[in-house]
Chains A and B, each alone.
Chain A
């Protein structure tokens, strides 16, 4: 299926719900991941781990300017070049200039959401630089010419059968449904890319202020090759990724691994503290760190600071996404840093109501409902009205939307309150209350 990320929400929703293969893929992956997560959490006091992880992120954000300054000073002392980018355009320009001034033609990338956020691959390809994703999942979606569909599992929407078909088509592989065989084929090709690349780009999971270190969490070892093999290494880090100490990073690493992928710790944890120094056997000749704001500081100011712990700010998604959740609360309960996402969505919904972007009909209905709730007599009349609505030949909204896929409940003749009153009256008949 070709995903059009620019398509309207309704269209994408319809497409996604109609895609049986994708739904199978998601069912398989989510049940496997949540099983793994349960096992990984048995070994630890997860509520405490999450509390501590949250406190670390919170304290870094509360002292953001000072911590970022310390990070910059220590990165610079380690021989890194630090760049500040206010927005996506600035960040892309910075990375393009690094590529041009170092004469880089071939880029290998480690999985990163922040470069996805700023559209870095396109920006580099436009100036003639080849970009190859080296995380297996990202490599697959790049081959399919699709964006990643999930922040930790970019290819969660594909079944193993779909990937096999893609590899046959794009890599000329013989048909196989064996993931090990497919993985080996990708690995073989990627090895050559690592050797040929002159620039590596990664995101950043934690940037340690006290030591000037960029950390990335990976499971395939590709991240380590990206950060150490090419002669230029560029790390792009959202400013919210800064933490104060090595111990902070270590705890967050565990919290993220156990809660997100169901591992005790990830297979690899790469820490980069500057370019190759005299006497070092390997490592890049240049290391650049791009510190990106792109709306994060503004989110903190607007009171959505909690989301800045994790999320990027994308105003184009605001119109539909706050309402695209049943607010069941699972996301909050599995979040390693306890972000109260349902609460943030409730706040966004309230913002939408306040700036008048909810449907007129809905506003009128809620107002009418409010007036009736404030007066028990009107509330009774509203209920009678609802009872009558069921007898109409054509159901009015929102009942029509309900009834398209669901039966409506039978409406009893008397409400609980009416029955309660009847019972009390019957009771009073015999007594002298």
Chain B
């Protein structure tokens, strides 16, 4: 999704990593880790996609070309670090299971990598406005990442952080759930946008573009000015323009 819909998020993630001392490689042959198919129950298909992921990334790790795999989203990381093991648990997949196990400890979400591995404490970003933070489910509950993005956001200059009530409640996206159970997904999302509106924030920051698409889809349809923005763009100092532009584009 970052690749097709949000290239600026990908770019912001790369910029951030480079700013904080990492050298970034973007393997051209990478596509999708298979999370959407796995989530919908399509294990054979998900295995094929996971294998493609392993074919692209495992050699880079084995050759010592890279020390870590970083993604700007919790769902994709949870897929690699948790659910690849489920996919390859059955007999006959020992090879892929071993390859996945080697990637497991070095695959990180962006802010997790910045704080836990690079030790970033200060960032040179400013956001003149009110921000609130929504904790995406896979990031929070599968990866246990919450302090890292909050700490980095708190370091943004001029940003006034406001609390989002029910910040850890699901926005209702849920992959295929968003269309298979569109009404329920929408009802959950409206609960979320109501809390966002009540928080008085100019932008709600999050780490996954899928939840961001869902929340923005609702906020725009409701005619509200607040926007969901990706944390990479906020931390990179590129979100303010993006946010304003997005608003004026729709008017």
Using a CB–CB distance below 8 Å, which chain A residues touch chain B?
Answer: 13-14, 17, 322-330, 332-333, 343, 346, 348-354, 358, 362-363, 366-367, 369-370, 372-374, 376, 379, 383, 386-387, 397-398, 401-402, 404-412, 414-421
Residues of chain B within 8 A (CB-CB) of A352 are 41
- A17-B184, A329-B142, A373-B34 are known contacts. Are A405 and B40 too (CB-CB below 8 A)? no
Q: Does A412 lie within 8 Å of B40, measured CB to CB?
A: no
Q: How far does the alpha carbon of A411 sit from the alpha carbon of B182 in the complex, in Å?
A: 21
B41 A402 Cβ-Cβ under 8 A: no
> Shortest beta-carbon distance, A375 to chain B, in Å?
8
State A215–B47 Cα separation when bound (angstroms). 46
A406–B186 CB distance below 8 A: yes
| Contact between A374 and B52, CB atoms less than 8 A apart | yes
Interface of A is mostly: helix
Interface members, chain B 234-251 (any A CB < 8 Å): 246, 249-250
With A and B bound together, what is the CA distance between A415 and B36 in angstroms? 20
B137 in contact with A328 (CB, 8 Å): yes
Q: Which 7 A-B pairs have the closest CB atoms?
A: A349-B41, A406-B217, A326-B174, A328-B170, A416-B10, A416-B7, A398-B179
Shortest distance from the beta carbon of A422 to any chain B beta carbon, whole Å: 11
What chain B residues lie within 8 Å of A327 (beta carbons)? Answer: 39, 137, 174-175, 177
**Minimum Cβ distance to chain A for residue B91 (Å):** 14
| Residue B84, interface by CB 8 Å | no
- A324-B184, A330-B170 given; A405·B32 CB < 8 A: no
Tell me how many residues of B have a C-beta within 8 Å of chain A: 64
A376 touches B29 (CB 8 A): yes
Cβ contacts A to B, 15 pairs, < 8 Å: A14-B183, A324-B184, A328-B174, A329-B137, A333-B141, A343-B86, A346-B38, A346-B41, A346-B86, A349-B40, A374-B49, A374-B52, A406-B218, A410-B249, A411-B4
Contact of A406 among B5, B41, B176, B189 (CB under 8 A): B189
A412 touches B217 (CB 8 A): no
B149 at the interface (CB under 8 A from A): no
Which residues from B are CB-within-8-Å of A323?
A: 176-177, 180-181
Please state if A373 and B49 are interface contacts (CB–CB under 8 Å): yes
B28 at interface, CB cutoff 8 A: yes
* Residues of chain A with a CB closer than 8 A to B221's CB: 405-407
Whether B19 sits at the interface, judged by CB under 8 Å, is no
How many angstroms from the CA of A13 to the CA of B186 in the assembled complex?
A: 12
B182 and A326 contacting across the interface, CB-CB below 8 Å: no
B178 pairs with A409, CB closer than 8 A? no
Residues of A within 8 A of B20 (CB): none
> Beyond A367-B45, A370-B37, is A412–B5 a contact (Cβ under 8 Å)?
yes
Tell me the minimal C-beta distance from A428 to chain B in angstroms.
14
Known: A17-B187, A349-B40. A376 touches B31 (CB 8 A): yes
Contact at A326–B216, with CB atoms within 8 Å? no
Please name all residues of chain A whose beta carbon is closer than 8 Å to the beta carbon of B48 when the two chains form the complex.
370, 373-374
Measured CB to CB, the closest approach of chain B to A152, in angstroms, equals 20
Distance in angstroms between the alpha carbons of A417 and B86 in the assembled complex:
29
Query: B6, B10, B40: which contacts A366 (Cβ < 8 A)?
Result: B40
Q: Are A353 and B41 in contact (CB under 8 A)?
A: yes
User: Are A324 and B181 neighbours in the complex by a CB distance under 8 Å?
Assistant: yes
Contact residues in B for A414 (Cβ distance below 8 Å): 7
Q: Are A417 and B26 in contact (CB under 8 A)?
A: yes
Bound CA–CA A400/B182 (angstroms): 10
Residue of B7, B39, B250 near A415 (CB, 8 A) is B7
- Nearest residue (CB) in A for B136 is A328
B3 touches A416 (CB 8 A): yes
Complex Cα spacing A406 to B178, Å: 10
Instruction: Identify which of residues 149-197 in chain B touch chain A, using a CB-to-CB cut-off of 8 Å.
Output: 169-170, 172-189
Residue of B5, B10, B176 with highest tally of chain A CB at under 10 A: B5
* Chain A: CB-nearest residue to B182: A401
B179 touches A402 (CB 8 A): yes
B102 at the interface (CB under 8 A from A): no
B41 and A350 contact, CB distance less than 8 A: yes
Q: CB-CB < 8 A to B31: which residues of A?
A: 372-374, 376, 379
Whole-angstrom CA separation of A421 from B10 in the bound complex: 13
Residues of A within 8 A of B220 (CB): 406-407
Residues of chain A with a CB closer than 8 A to B175's CB = 327
Question: Chain A's nearest CB lies how many Å from the CB of B13?
Answer: 9
